[in-house]
Amino acid sequence: MSAFVLVLISPSGGSAAPLDAALQAAKNEIGNATPNWLAPGEACELQFEAGDATAARAARDRIAAGLGSAPIDVCVVPTEGRRKGLLIADMDSTIIQQECIDEMADMLGLKARIAAITERAMRGELPFEAALRERLGLLAGLEVRALQRVFDERIVLMPGARTLVATMRANGAFTALVSGGFSFFTSRVAAAVGFDVNRANELDIADEKLTGGVVGPILGREAKLDALIQYRDARGLAAEATLAVGDGANDLAMIGAAGLGVAYRAKPVVAAEADAGIMHGDLTALLFLQGYRKDDFTSVS
């Protein structure tokens, strides 16, 4: 038998009733364990034992299925090694609420057309690299100054992003924002959130306009995995000490290789393969998964 933690998370500021119901369902499934409250009315955990990770996740799935549409995230993590020393995060629709390329397209009246391609690529229905080239080709001629307008007027951080990064960094973790998007945005988002480093594609520009391409090879699924391995090995961390979070198909490799791979408000193909899924909580849910109490969070101004 192995030791696991069942973590129940509800949206901050919501009713405590769904969490109470989830707690009772959890006790019925895994035994009458004593709940450890990480945040009263918002997050609690229960220790239990299972034969292996597959059995533990099966128990999780039964609990989640019994809750129906209740806004509760039900996750299972191993008891050992919960706190991570490396965070690798996707940007679009993960750390920020938008897809930057869709907002860029809106500047040319092409948002619906390009957003449809983005959605298919994130669902894994189109190869990421080919889909990115197609979308960028449609954006050829967009003035560079429009990018700053997109950042200033359209980009909104995901709730909990700054607290997640600040708390992990305060506890010694290294944090990296790694995107299949563009460095124009990752550099600004990373600075706003507090990431140690950022990595993304560089837009090709001529005469202050987009050419429709990128400088060098496209950074996609494998580049994200490479970044995780590079930052992990540079710090002498075991694979189990890493956390990766994303929402799209191009995040699957890094999510699969991380000690804790989290699908955040993700496409079905990602949610099906990740260790844990967060659909209702904000990004501080990733701290609860690591055993942080809300009182442990690093405050951000």
3.30.70.560, 3.40.1030.10, 1.10.10.10, 3.40.50.300: CATH of 1-80: 3.30.70.560
Average pLDDT, the chain: 95
pLDDT for the residue 16? 67
pLDDT of 14 above 70? no
Model pLDDT for residues 96-114, shown as the tens digit of each residue: 999 999 999 999 999 999 9
Q: What is the pTM (predicted TM-score) of this model?
A: 0.95
Q: Spell out a b/e string for 256-274, using b for 16 or more CB atoms within 10 Å of the CB, else e.
A: ebbbbbbbbbbbebbbebb
pLDDT of 33 above 90? no
pLDDT band with cut points at 50, 70 and 90 for residue 15: low
Model pLDDT for residues 50-102, shown as the tens digit of each residue: 999 999 999 999 999 999 889 999 999 999 999 999 999 999 999 999 999 99
Q: Where are the domains of the chain?
A: 1-80
**How far are the Cα atoms of 55, 179, 197 from residue 202, in angstroms, in the given order?**
44, 11, 15
Model pLDDT for residues 211-225, shown as the tens digit of each residue: 999 999 999 999 999
The residues carrying an active-site annotation are 90, 92
Model pLDDT for residues 171-188, shown as the tens digit of each residue: 999 999 999 999 999 999
